[in-house]
Structure 1
């Protein structure tokens, strides 16, 4: 049978048992972008979007999303997160989101970081959709994953 760890000997999907792995300090960083037109970028800068403060709301939604990752993605382990941060940067073409997730655990936190970045970008989309019909979310990716012994 496949050596892919999420498939059992009968070919059925299962959750990996990480119980025998050592606890390590684990960090993951993910990022993504959303393209916005000039009017939308200006409204975000001026904090004049009708739905409110776009970037603060996106950061909060990303943090909340990371904490819900195991409820959203069926084979994710529930992790006790030590830190989640979501940073937003207004660029010449839109917004870049960078999300960091950290825990002391037996499995990585890349799904939490990716989920945080994705939901933050979706929040920006939702808050700006009345003004900008041509937004594009792109380049969501894991940019760093580390682990170190405690």
Structure 2
């Protein structure tokens, strides 16, 4: 038998059996960002993008993506999420405008919600791009990464955010 949990006895992919895992409260926080030009920044903040309220639509897209993660990530278990919260902040330096995206996902279950948080952060950023691409296709998405997770037998994880200095992913506005 393989020591890799996502492979069966034949070495082929399988979904891990979590039947016997304890149900606990699980949380995950992920972040992403979208670098935009001044025109897009002004249009988003003034709600002047022709497709509508960019942040409202992106927020709904992120929530929908979190709920559908198992539909697009093959080995993810379908989860009954208990909460998804997406917030935005701006970090502006000189002529660079970074929309910071923070996603927190919660459930009570037998497996973690890291993939749901990361998928939501990615879909949120992609939706911002989609809604603003008519103005400028030069936007830059990312990085996207896990900040922390709690619950489960592997314990908690918390990223040292000081290691991210210079990546324009902080919470300051």
Alignment TM-score, normalising by the size of structure 1: 0.95
Structure 2 distance, partners of 1:3, 1:96, is 38
Tell me the residue number matched to 1:118.
122
Q: How many residues align?
A: 149
Greater strand content = 1
Tell me the residue number matched to 1:45.
45
Structure 2 distance, partners of 1:75, 1:32, is 23
- The DSSP-based 3-state class of the residue aligned with 2:131 is helix
Tell me the residue number matched to 2:103.
99
* Deviation, structure 1 residue 132: 1.4
What are the superposed Cα offsets for residues 22-76 of structure 1, whole Å, 9 maximum, x if unpaired?
Answer: 0000000000111000110000011000111001111111001101111111111
* Deviation, structure 1 residue 2: 4.0
Give 5+ residue unaligned stretches, structure 2.
154-173
* Deviation, structure 1 residue 8: 1.3
- 8 Å contact from structure 2 (residues 27, 149) kept in 1: yes
Structure 2 distance, partners of 1:29, 1:132, is 29
Tell me the residue number matched to 1:86.
86
Which protein has greater RCO, CA pairs closer than 8 Å, 6+ apart? 1
Tell me the residue number matched to 2:149.
145
Structure 2 distance, partners of 1:61, 1:121, is 9
Q: CA RMSD in A?
A: 1.3
Structure 2 distance, partners of 1:128, 1:2, is 47
Give 5+ residue unaligned stretches, structure 1.
none
* Deviation, structure 1 residue 148: 6.7
- 8 Å contact from structure 2 (residues 33, 142) kept in 1: yes
